[in-house]
């Protein structure tokens, strides 16, 4: 059995907190690379801009022109800055960006994270801040960061360098759009674990990420003689559909450029290329000689209906609901409640396809309006929608609207194993396994709000059967009851996790379906491709929130990684809260009376505490009690039971990726109502305020070996944090702020009800504000991983 599995569950969108985003919909525009490679120059960009205005491309939304590699001289200037090639850009890049902006365009530029660019020009390694400031001063608001010629080429190095760029670009005023190429450098390894690990972090760093090889450049046949234009499109599309769970407003998977005038595409293939990218809400970046476009090419590229789908505010990536070797059917929801259906004819002949409504998550007896997005014509359909007369390598795209009623969409689709590309398949009786995709009903699954998973074919039988964790690694189909053994969670890592055993769905030997310990993103040494616990869930949903019920898309670890904290409600019941309050109240009475020496004294923020020998430690006021598990404390066993409770331990193990045997006991204290109002300064626990931005980044890149939490026994909103600050250097505003600054940009109060717990990264920017008139009993704990022990 391969230990580490990846579930490619066909297209369950991932929901994220609503935040202001730099690039809410995918970018549209032009890049020179595929068509011209190192042949770019000022004339090309000026002529391209004029043609985009003339042909209506700018009006249609293509408002960006991006320079790719080879724009610079071969050496940096004496002061280390990059220099444009004056032979290619005689009036300079500041002039070019200014001129493009006068026409209504935005401008982007290329650089490389390594020592040299892919074309052999100076890389940005070691010059990141200087180059970012230079690009901004020239008028660029978008940076594409390639990944050639890295010093070591490890995933860890890419994360460090790309994270550094993120910190720089996001802190600039205004921030620059960041296009990341890191995933492409891991996309075709024998073991794809690093690819998925990179995909886990790129959405937090930038606005789009190139995940695979280039689509065909103009002379591709010289070094890819056996790959056709259609092969290239289908390869990158195949990579893209594995990654739907990562996409959201503000971050887009990028399958590369639209090669509109490449000689190796038929018109049907060009139109399919555009329609598929539009359905995926992928960036629509043209790489071609636009002044020579034909009327047919301009017509399909400016199709308002398809561009509207691409720019839909939900930003969902269309997901697979069926695949049979000839037809791929994808669907997604749109912001106004409509459904998109995209049918790709991968076969060699013109053909028709009937798609039952239940395949796309609609009630089978629905009556809907159908708009053909190629012709603009409307029709009415019931029970099924039909793609008619679709040419070989052509694509039908239809928009479905409810007719006189509201519809409830059931998340429906396929589960693909990202390693083997086999599908989760049901068979008669209770048997379930993995098999090659055939498009059969037994390979199409539906999820319910209670986390159950049933096959589409099960809807036609009586009674309905659900995927069931039988224990000891066994998975079967049994009559649906909604019991714990039939409830599953889908994580952004691609793991499908049993709520009963906490094991992850895994493809075992002989295509068996089993559960095994979740290994998340560990790079296990296996004999062939990526582990078999990672899946892509292609489950179309009505809106993003609907996908949360069956499969919570954001785990505790994902929230902690993204925001720097995760609030978990109600981990204690009323009787547990009452018992801990009683124990805490008596402990506080001992401490205030000078009968427990280990306290946090006012007005100090950090130890050592001001406790004079032979005096009452609490005489000057206290705001905390230390060492709650010390055997001399009367209620120590109550606190020990809480510290080692499964409610706490289970979360810690998820956050630290560890087993019970790898946990290390650290601290457990009690934060209490202070004797007078008291505030803590803005701080990071392990980084001094005097640290430079570079020192901060270096420290923040170190592994997290500790899980730290506050567990409230009374309502508590004392903790104030700046979400996301754990992953970047401080901004200039944060550096210059008063230590007790109120209203720091982005700050929030973490509001906990009694029984809630918040886990937080100890290097998130945070402070505390404690009121003497408000009761406070909050248990403050920390637990470590053995890997962090010196």
**34-48, 336-350, 357-371: which range is least confident on average?**
357-371
CA-wise closest residue to 183 among 191, 193, 192, 195: 195
Count Cβ neighbours within 10 Å for each residue of 573-585 and write b for 16 or more, e otherwise: eeebbebbeebbe
H-assigned helices in 241-345: 267-279, 295-301, 304-310
- Cross-strand pairs, 643: none
Architecture of domain 412-553: Trefoil (2.80)
For residue 483, give every residue at least 6 positions away whose Cβ sits within 8 Å of its Cβ, in sequence order, or none. none
Q: What pLDDT shows up at residue 181?
A: 98
Residue 725 in this model has a pLDDT that exceeds 50: yes
H-assigned helices in 388-453: none
| pLDDT bracket for residue 750 (50, 70, 90) | very high
Largest CA distance in the chain: 93
Q: What pLDDT shows up at residue 531?
A: 39
Burial class (CB in 10 A: 0-12, 13-18, 19+), 657: middle
Task: Respond yes or no on whether the N-terminal peptide bond of residue 746 is cis (omega within 30° of 0).
Answer: no
| Predicted TM-score (pTM) of this structure | 0.70
Rounded Cα distance between 317 and 248, Å, is: 8
Residue 780, CB-side half-sphere exposure with 13 Å CA sphere: 18
Give the mean pLDDT of 473-480: 93
Please report, rounded to a whole number, the percentage of residues in the chain having pLDDT higher than 90. 66
Number of helices (H) and strands (E) in the chain: give both, helices first: 17, 40
Give the mean pLDDT of 636-658: 91
Give the pairing of strands 757-760 and 565-568: antiparallel
* Backbone φ and ψ of 332, nearest 5°: -160, 165
Q: Is 200 a catalytic residue?
A: yes
Q: What pLDDT shows up at residue 496?
A: 87
Contact assessment for residue 670 and residue 627, using Cβ atoms and an 8 Å cutoff: no
Q: What pLDDT shows up at residue 546?
A: 35
Residue 169 in this model has a pLDDT that exceeds 80: yes
Give the mean pLDDT of 54-72: 98
CA-wise closest residue to 310 among 224, 181, 397: 397
| pLDDT bracket for residue 777 (50, 70, 90) | very high
Q: What pLDDT shows up at residue 4?
A: 24
Give the mean pLDDT of 249-263: 94
- Cross-strand pairs, 314: none
Domain ranges of the chain: 28-310, 319-402, 412-553, 566-788
- Cross-strand pairs, 781: 668, 709
Which of the residue ranges 560-569, 607-616, 667-676 has the most confident prediction, judged by mean pLDDT?
667-676
Rounded Cα distance between 484 and 37, Å, is: 56
Q: What pLDDT shows up at residue 539?
A: 56
Contact assessment for residue 307 and residue 61, using Cβ atoms and an 8 Å cutoff: yes
Q: Please tell me which residue, 490 or 789, carries the higher pLDDT value.
A: 490
Catalytic residue, candidates 146, 214, 546, 563:
146
Q: Which tokens belong to 241? A: 């559909």
H-assigned helices in 104-154: 128-138
Q: Please tell me which residue, 181 or 701, carries the higher pLDDT value.
A: 181
Tell me yes or no: is domain 28-310 CATH 3.40.50.720: no
Element holding 354 (H helix, E strand): strand 351-356
Q: Is 790 a catalytic residue?
A: no
Burial class (CB in 10 A: 0-12, 13-18, 19+), 507: buried
Rounded Cα distance between 141 and 66, Å, is: 10
Give the mean pLDDT of 705-734: 93
Q: Please tell me which residue, 66 or 10, carries the higher pLDDT value.
A: 66
Write the pLDDT tens digit of every residue in 261-277: 988 899 999 999 999 99
Report CA-CA distances (Å) from 246 to 340, 486, 496.
Answer: 20, 25, 15
CATH fold for domain 566-788: Jelly Rolls (2.60.120)
Q: Please tell me which residue, 218 or 35, carries the higher pLDDT value.
A: 35
Q: What pLDDT shows up at residue 456?
A: 79
Helix, strand, coil percentages, rounded to 5, for the chain: 30, 25, 45
Give the mean pLDDT of 22-41: 96
CA-wise closest residue to 671 among 762, 720, 576, 600: 600
Rounded Cα distance between 71 and 42, Å, is: 10
Rounded Cα distance between 568 and 376, Å, is: 48
Write the pLDDT tens digit of every residue in 191-231: 788 998 899 899 989 999 999 999 887 766 666 677 888 99
| pLDDT bracket for residue 369 (50, 70, 90) | very high
Write the pLDDT tens digit of every residue in 319-345: 998 899 999 999 999 998 899 999 999
- For residue 726, what is the DSSP state? G
Tell me yes or no: is domain 319-402 CATH 3.40.50.150: no
Q: Please tell me which residue, 462 or 387, carries the higher pLDDT value.
A: 387
Q: What pLDDT shows up at residue 221?
A: 63
Q: What pLDDT shows up at residue 451?
A: 86
Write the pLDDT tens digit of every residue in 446-457: 888 788 999 876
* Backbone φ and ψ of 330, nearest 5°: -120, 155
Residue 757 in this model has a pLDDT that exceeds 70: yes
Q: What pLDDT shows up at residue 541?
A: 44
Q: What pLDDT shows up at residue 216?
A: 82
Rounded Cα distance between 312 and 339, Å, is: 12
Contact assessment for residue 670 and residue 683, using Cβ atoms and an 8 Å cutoff: no
Write the pLDDT tens digit of every residue in 514-525: 998 877 544 332
Rounded Cα distance between 785 and 626, Å, is: 22
Give the mean pLDDT of 371-389: 95
The mean pLDDT value of the chain amounts to 88
Write the pLDDT tens digit of every residue in 282-294: 999 999 999 999 9
**114-123, 141-150, 195-204, 494-503: which range is least confident on average?**
494-503
* Backbone φ and ψ of 475, nearest 5°: -125, 130
Catalytic residue, candidates 131, 141, 194, 200:
200
Q: What pLDDT shows up at residue 5?
A: 29
Write the pLDDT tens digit of every residue in 532-573: 555 666 654 433 333 333 333 346 777 788 789 998 888 888
* Backbone φ and ψ of 759, nearest 5°: -95, 135
Q: What pLDDT shows up at residue 462?
A: 65
Rounded Cα distance between 493 and 203, Å, is: 13
Render 35-73 in DSSP notation, one character per residue: HHTT---HHHHHHHHHHHHHTTHHHHT--EEE--SS-B-
Please report, rounded to a whole number, the percentage of residues in the chain having pLDDT higher than 70. 91
The terminus-to-terminus CA distance of the chain in angstroms comes to 35
């Amino acid at each position: 059995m391969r230990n580490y599995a990846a579930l490619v569950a066909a297209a369950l969108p991932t929901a994220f907190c609503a935040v202001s985003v730099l690039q809410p919909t995918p970018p549209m525009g032009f890049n020179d690379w595929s068509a011209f490679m190192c042949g770019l120059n000022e004339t090309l960009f000026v002529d391209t801009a004029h043609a985009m205005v003339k042909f209506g491309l700018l009006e249609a939304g293509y408002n960006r022109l991006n320079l790719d590699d080879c724009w610079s001289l071969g050496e940096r200037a004496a002061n280390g800055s990059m220099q444009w090639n004056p032979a290619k850009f005689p009036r300079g890049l500041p002039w070019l960006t200014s001129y493009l902006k006068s026409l209504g365009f935005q401008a982007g530029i290329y650089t490389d994270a390594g020592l040299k660019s892919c074309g052999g020009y100076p890389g940005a390694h070691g010059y990141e801040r200087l180059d970012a400031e230079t690009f901004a001063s020239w008028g660029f608001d978008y940076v594409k960061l390639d990944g050639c010629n890295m010093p070591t080429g490890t995933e860890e190095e890419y994360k460090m360098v790309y994270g550094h760029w993120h910190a720089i670009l996001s802190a600039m005023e205004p921030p620059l759009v960041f296009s990341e190429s890191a995933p492409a450098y891991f996309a075709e390894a024998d073991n794809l674990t690093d690819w998925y690990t990179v995909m886990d972090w790129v959405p937090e760093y930038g606005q789009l990420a190139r995940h695979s090889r280039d689509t065909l450049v103009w002379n591709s046949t010289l070094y890819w003689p056996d790959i056709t234009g259609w092969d290239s499109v289908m390869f990158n599309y195949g990579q893209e559909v594995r990654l739907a769970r990562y996409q959201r407003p503000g971050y887009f998977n990028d399958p590369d450029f639209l090669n509109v005038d490449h000689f190796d595409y038929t018109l049907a293939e060009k139109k399919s290329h555009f329609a598929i990218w539009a359905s995926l809400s992928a960036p629509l970046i043209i790489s071609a000689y636009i002044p020579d476009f034909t009327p047919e090419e301009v017509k399909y590229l400016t199709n308002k209906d398809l561009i509207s789908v691409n720019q839909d505010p939900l930003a969902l990536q269309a997901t697979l609901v069926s695949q049979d070797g000839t037809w791929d059917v994808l669907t997604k929801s749109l912001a106004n409640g409509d459904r998109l259906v995209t049918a790709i004819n991968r076969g060699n002949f013109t053909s028709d396809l009937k798609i039952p409504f239940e395949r796309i998550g609609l009630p089978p007896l629905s009556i809907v309006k159908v708009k053909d997005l190629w012709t603009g014509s409307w029709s009415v359909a019931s029970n099924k929608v039909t793609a008619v007369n679709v040419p070989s390598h052509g694509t039908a795209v239809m928009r479905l609207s409810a007719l006189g009623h509201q519809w409830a969409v059931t998340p429906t689709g396929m589960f693909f194993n990202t390693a083997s590309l086999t599908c989760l398949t049901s068979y008669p009786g209770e048997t379930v396994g993995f098999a090659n995709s055939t498009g059969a009903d037994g390979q199409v699954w539906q999820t319910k709000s209670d986390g159950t998973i049933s096959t589409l074919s099960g809807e036609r039988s009586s009674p309905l059967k659900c995927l069931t964790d039988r224990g000891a690694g066994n998975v079967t189909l049994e009559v649906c009851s909604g019991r714990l053994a039939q409830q599953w969670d889908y994580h952004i890592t691609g793991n499908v996790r049993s709520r009963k055993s906490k094991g992850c769905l895994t493809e075992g030997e002989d295509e068996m379906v089993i559960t095994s310990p979740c290994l998340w993103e560990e790079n296990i040494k296996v004999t062939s491709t990526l582990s078999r616990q990672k899946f892509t869930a292609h489950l179309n949903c009505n809106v993003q929130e609907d996908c949360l019920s069956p499969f919570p898309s954001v785990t505790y670890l994902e929230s902690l990684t993204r925001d720097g904290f995760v609030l978990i409600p109600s981990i204690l019941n009323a009787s547990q809260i009452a018992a801990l309050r009683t124990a805490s109240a008596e402990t506080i009475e001992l401490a205030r009376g000078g009968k427990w020496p280990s306290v946090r004294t006012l007005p100090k923020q950090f130890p050592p505490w001001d406790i004079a020998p032979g005096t009452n430690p609490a005489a000057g006021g206290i705001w905390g009690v230390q060492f709650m598990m010390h055997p001399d404390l009367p209620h120590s066993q109550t606190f020990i039971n809480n510290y080692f409770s499964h409610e706490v331990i289970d979360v810690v193990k998820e956050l630290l990726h560890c087993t019970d045997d790898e946990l290390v006991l650290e601290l457990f204290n009690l934060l209490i109502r202070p004797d007078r109002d008291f505030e803590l300064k803005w701080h990071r626990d392990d980084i001094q305020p005097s640290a430079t931005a570079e020192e901060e980044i270096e420290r923040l890149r170190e592994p997290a070996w500790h899980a730290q939490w506050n567990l409230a026994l009374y309502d508590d909103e004392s903790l104030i944090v700046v979400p996301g600050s754990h992953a970047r250097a401080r901004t200039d505003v944060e550096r210059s702020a008063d230590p007790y600054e109120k209203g720091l940009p982005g700050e929030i109060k973490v509001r906990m009800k009694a029984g809630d717990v918040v886990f937080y990264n100890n290097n998130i920017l945070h402070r505390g504000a404690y009121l003497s008139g408000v009761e406070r009993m909050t248990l403050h704990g920390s637990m470590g991983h053995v890997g962090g022990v010196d």
